[in-house]
Structure 1
Amino acid sequence: MTSPATGPVAAAITAQLTAALAPSHLEVINDSAHHAGHMGDDGSGESHFTVVVETPAFIGLSRVQRQRLVNNALSELLQTSIHALAIKARAPGE
């Protein structure tokens, strides 16, 4: 089951994306329960996430450029805390 993310890693994701992208809509979804016991599961319950981000910063950018902005904003967490990240990135009105 997918659940809203509320732990420290989820809070850091929210804070970093908010600071970097000023999103008009942001959802951080913890998908870790789907991957319990699999490779990359560190037992923290916060290793796999989906982010849904809508921001004017994405206007005119390709899907790859949008994902790079998200990955750059979360680069430290991707190296230390996040094993897997699914990104749904859109500009307002899409």
Structure 2
Amino acid sequence: MTNRQNRIRTALITVLTPELLEVEDESHLHAGHAGASPTGETHYSIKVWSKSFEGMNRVEIHRKINETLQSEFDSGLHALSIRIVKPNLDN
């Protein structure tokens, strides 16, 4: 797990207390593309669900996540793919 991946995970857990959180470094898939760095840690995807999302629309959820990770964007995070997935918690 990369340093940025750990920081993303920690920030999202701290702010959202998610029931579901997966963070994946996809930088290797974007080598040579805009915003990519030879050292990686620029492109990530997350799959997330939090009870704090209840009553929020997708735009509001994306804004909350992006605000939570603003320091990462400021320090080199170029792209973040967000999948909001409400798990079946009744199983």
Q: Structure 2 length normalisation: TM-score?
A: 0.90
The unaligned stretches of length 5 or more in structure 2 are none
Please point out which of 27, 46, 62 is paired with 1:32.
27
Query: Hey, which bits of structure 1, 4+ residues long, moved more than 6 A?
Result: none
Q: In 2, are the aligned partners of 1:40 and 1:83 still within 8 Å (CA)? A: yes
The unaligned stretches of length 5 or more in structure 1 are 1-5
* Range with greater deviation from structure 2 (31-40 or 11-20): 31-40
Q: In 2, are the aligned partners of 1:58 and 1:90 still within 8 Å (CA)? A: no
Report deviation, 1:90.
3.8
- What is the aligned length? 89
Secondary structure (helix, strand or coil) at the match of 1:61 reads: coil
Percentage of matched positions with identical amino acids: 33
Q: CA RMSD in A?
A: 1.5
Q: Structure 1 length normalisation: TM-score?
A: 0.87
